[in-house]
Amino acid sequence: MSATLRPEAAAAGPRLLVVEDNDGLRRAMVRALAGPFACVDAEARGDRAVARLQETTEASYDVVVTDLRLPGASGLEVLEAVRQRDERTAVLLLTAFGSIETAVEAMRLGAFDFAQKPVALEELEIRVGKALDHAGLLRRVASLEAERASRRSELAIVGNSPALRTALDLAARVAPTRATVLVTGETGTGKELVAGLVHERSSRAGGPFVKVNCAALPETLLESELFGHERGAFTSADRERIGRFEQADGGTLFLDEVGDMSAATQAKLLRVLQEQEFHRLGGTRTIRTDVRIVAATNLDLPEAIREGRFREDLYFRLNVIGIALPPLRDRVDDVLALAHHFLDAFGRELGRARDGFRPDALARIRAHDWPGNVRELRNVIERAVLMSSGPWIEAGDVVLAGTPGDEGRWAPRLPAEGLALEEVERAVVLEVLARADYVQKDAARLLGISRRKLNYMVGRMGITHERWRRNRAEAG
């Protein structure tokens, strides 16, 4: 059930939600608040309030006043729904006599204020006024941050294809919420860029943006990286160490390559996400931090789940909002925009300003299918700027991997009965690893793929080699 008093004149004014199951009290509160604050919605049940907060078609509330004990869902659940929806909303909790502990817990969970019942309507008005001032301030700060960030990142994120725009709009829309975001896409499509955008457009923009590459570290190191450790937690732990979850307090934790975590680490991460608290390795003290998670992967997680390599429950925790970045070959217009963008950028950076691309150079760029996506394009243009001798980029300056006619191209001899592609891949990867002395970076360069892609292939092929593991850990 719901009551709405919304005079036309105040359509753009602050929005309030009152959640209270006592009919008389609810009506009185709505009447008292609708005078000064105009737009007041009301719900009698906790679950109805939660459902209303999850409806994202409406603007979010500035202030929510909620009773603690409610039918359907508690005031704490309403608080949680508010925090998920928009962290700038101020929540004022009404508690019955004797539930002070819960009120303290609510403050810790991010409530703005609490009042003990029975509460005088004048007092309620004053407290809501304060909450509104607070919410208004947060909004102003956030919109200033967003403005500044959009000036920065709009410049940095190039492309106007509908597919990219859809992804960026979604990122901007979910940024102010606390919702966990999973960014997916092939290697080099801009997942990290989008993760940064989500942070910059959030009210956490003033806080830290902390990145962890989950693929780069072996299991125990990754856990200590994430959660920290106490002194002596394991043999090489000669001093205590603060983990990334603690470093990211008040900001955003970016879990990159999240699909590459071991089963044990997946289980630990899931528990932390559920309970919002953890221990350092070797420690007993419970640590809580206020962290918003953005994760990214170039793996097909639903497939990894089917194959038993990734936990489905963790996937659902991470994929609250999914942002899928399209591969570059599906956005031809972006290829050209990006090519010009990188030409200008590298022209400036390398002190070699170029006038543009010759038509046949552009034709090569347009025809290529960019398996390494934006990163590959960026590298190709950088190289073209360095190779070009005149003011124009010629077709010959555009060196694409796998283009027929490139010198030194290697072709395997095909047996009459054919050959499984997987076998060829494996043979090539093993050969290259050996030649690169198991140094990730060099092997990836020899293969013309990203380190992540290489990591992924090596993992998939089940190749294990002591030197590979060690080099990988050092590179991380």
d(CA 173, CA 397): 41
* Nearest CB to ligand ATP, comparing residues 294 and 338: 338
Helix (H, G, I), strand (E, B) or coil at 448: coil
Helix (H, G, I), strand (E, B) or coil at 429: helix
Q: Is 132 in the site for ligand ATP (CB under 6 A)?
A: no
* Nearest CB to ligand ATP, comparing residues 68 and 294: 294
Q: Which does 142 bind (CB under 5 to 8 A by kind): Mg ion, ligand ATP, none?
A: none
Q: Is 298 in the site for ligand ATP (CB under 6 A)?
A: yes
Listed in sequence order, the residues at least 6 apart from 428 whose beta carbon sits closer than 8 Å to its beta carbon are 447
Number of chain positions touching ligand ATP (CB under 6 A): 19
Q: Quickly list H helices, 62-120.
A: 75-85, 100-108
Helix (H, G, I), strand (E, B) or coil at 212: strand
- List Cβ<8 Å contacts ≥24 apart for 303-309: 304/259, 309/259
d(CA 317, CA 319): 6
Q: Is 145 in the site for Mg ion (CB under 5 A)?
A: no
The residue whose Cβ lies closest to ligand ATP is 190
Q: Is 442 in the site for ligand ATP (CB under 6 A)?
A: no
* Nearest CB to ligand ATP, comparing residues 282 and 371: 371
**Least CB distance from residue 6 to ligand ATP, whole Å?**
41
Of positions 189, 388, 440, 455, contacts ligand ATP by CB under 6 A: 189
d(CA 171, CA 162): 14
Binding piece for ligand ATP, criterion CB under 6 A, among 157-165, 170-178, 262-270, 398-406: 157-165
Q: Is 331 in the site for ligand ATP (CB under 6 A)?
A: no
Asked whether 398 and 366 are in contact (CB, 8 A), the reply is no
d(CA 363, CA 356): 13
* Nearest CB to Mg ion, comparing residues 191 and 317: 191
**Least CB distance from residue 337 to ligand ATP, whole Å?**
8
For residues 213, 217, 218 and 222, what is the CA-based torsion angle, rounded to 10 degrees? -60
Phi, psi (degrees; rounded to nearest 5) at 113 = -165, 160
Asked whether 89 and 135 are in contact (CB, 8 A), the reply is yes
Binding piece for ligand ATP, criterion CB under 6 A, among 189-197, 204-212, 218-226, 358-366: 189-197
> What's the sign of the alpha-carbon dihedral 369, 372, 375, 378?
negative
Of positions 177, 224, 252, 450, contacts ligand ATP by CB under 6 A: 450
Q: Is 374 in the site for ligand ATP (CB under 6 A)?
A: yes
Q: Is 203 in the site for ligand ATP (CB under 6 A)?
A: no
**Least CB distance from residue 464 to Mg ion, whole Å?**
24
Residue list 182-201, contact with Mg ion (CB under 5 A)? 191-192
Distances (CA, A) of 59 to 55, 85, 86, 92, 155: 9, 10, 10, 19, 28
Q: Is 47 in the site for Mg ion (CB under 5 A)?
A: no
* Nearest CB to Mg ion, comparing residues 191 and 229: 191
Bridge partners, residue 287, by sequence: 278
Q: Is 452 in the site for ligand ATP (CB under 6 A)?
A: yes
Which chain residues interact with ligand ATP by CB under 6 A? 156-159, 185, 187-193, 298, 338, 374-375, 378, 450, 452
Which chain residues interact with Mg ion by CB under 5 A? 191-192
